[in-house]
Amino acid sequence: MVNLPIQPRYILPPLCLMVLSALFALFSLNDSLEFNRQLIEQGQVWRLISSQYVHTNWAHLGLNCAGIILIWALHAEHTKPLVYGAHTIVLATWCGICIYYFCPDIEIYTGLSALLHGVIVWGAIKDITVGMKTGWLLFFGIWAKILFEQLEGPSAQVSELIASNVAIDAHLIGAIGGVLLAIPLIFKLIKKRQA
């Protein structure tokens, strides 16, 4: 029997993230919030963060909401609401800044996928630290997906569905952010094994 984390403290944070993104889509706020390199260079620096929460279309939002639900099912019990919120804001900031500095070919960017790659990598590492062997499978699985994307390029079908290029370098940036976010967990695991 599947034991899903259905208590309000586990449901509300991912639900808030989905509702926020849906509201941005409903009110068509992309023009004001998307990563637009030219406008960021003119001083609209909020776009580095806000771009992570807007989407090219409803299909794009739907795919990212499916990712949020998957992560909720796998890792909701690992975080508290404030930690979840802090993780998403830290990862959104990390992803936006790194896309700006390390992906000069990206002029326009939207979507939660980079941030979600970071959240799932953090969750896999948390799984490992609490002794769940599936954490290793998830950790190596996400890195295999990222490696495949880097070698083969973005999925043409997904690009067509979301009406935009899939920013595979942003996925890599997000996953690296997840590892960095998990450094305290890694140190704790190392100390535990040395004891």
The residue ranking higher by pLDDT, 99 or 79, is 99
Q: What is the mean pLDDT of residues 122-145?
A: 95
Residue 51 lies in a domain: yes
pLDDT in tens, 138-179: 999 999 999 999 999 888 888 888 878 889 999 999 999 999
Within-domain flag for 150? yes
Residue 189: per-residue pLDDT: 86
pTM: 0.94
pLDDT surpasses 90 at 195? no
Does some domain include residue 3?
no
Check pLDDT > 80 for residue 137: yes
List pLDDT tens digits, range 3-15: 788 898 999 999 9
3-class SS letters over 113-171: HHHHHHHHHHHHHHHHHCCCCHHHHHHHHHHHHHHHHHHHCCCHHHHHHHCCCCCHHHH
How far is residue 18 from each of residues 15, 108, 145, 154, 181, measured CA to CA in Å? Answer: 5, 21, 24, 24, 22
Q: Give residue 109's domain range.
A: 8-194
Q: State the pLDDT confidence band at 132, using cuts at 50, 70 and 90.
A: very high
How many domains, in total, are found in the chain?
Answer: 1
Phi, psi (5° rounding) for residue 109?
Answer: -145, 140
For residue 71, is it within any domain?
yes
pLDDT at 92: 98
Q: What is the per-residue pLDDT across 163-173, written as a single tens digit (0 to 9) for each?
A: 788 899 999 99
pLDDT at residue number 51: 97
Residue 152 lies in a domain: yes
In a domain, 82, yes or no: yes
pLDDT at residue 1 in the model: 52
On the question of pLDDT at 47 being above 80, the answer is yes
- For residue 63, tell me if it sits in a domain: yes
Is residue 176, in this structure, part of any structural domain at all? yes
Check pLDDT > 70 for residue 2: no
* Residue 92's CATH number: 1.20.1540.10
